[in-house]
């Protein structure tokens, strides 16, 4: 599954500074279907089967705090698609992911 998931309109998940999602079968951090996810500074998404930080579907919003890192994921590092919003803070980085580092579709 997903490490941190905020799902459906009106849902909000706040992950504090330094949270880590590692080795999950899907994404590390994901907001979907109008939900919001706030990842604090220096959160890490590493070695996940999907995208590190993913915002999906109209109205969804994911905010990655300063210095968040996506590394070694099987898809993109940071990705928004289908009308979703993703905000990456200062000094966020995507390294050694199989997909694009930062992608908006």
How does pLDDT run across 1-44, given as a tens digit for each residue? 999 999 999 999 999 999 999 999 999 999 999 999 999 999 99
| Band of pLDDT at residue 54, cut at 50, 70 and 90 | very high
Q: How far, in Å, CA of 21 to CA of 36, rounded?
A: 17
Q: What is the pTM of this model?
A: 0.98
């Amino acid at each position: 599954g997903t490490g941190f998931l905020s799902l459906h309109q009106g849902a909000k998940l706040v992950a504090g500074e330094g949270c880590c999602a590692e080795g999950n079968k899907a994404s590390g951090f994901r907001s979907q279907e109008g939900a919001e996810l706030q990842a604090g500074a220096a959160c890490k998404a590493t070695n996940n089967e999907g995208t590190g930080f993913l915002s999906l579907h109209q109205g969804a919003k994911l905010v990655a705090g300063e210095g968040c890192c996506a590394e070694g994921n099987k898809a993109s590092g940071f990705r928004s698609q289908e009308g979703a919003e993703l905000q990456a803070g200062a000094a966020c980085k995507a390294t050694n992911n199989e997909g694009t580092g930062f992608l908006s579709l």
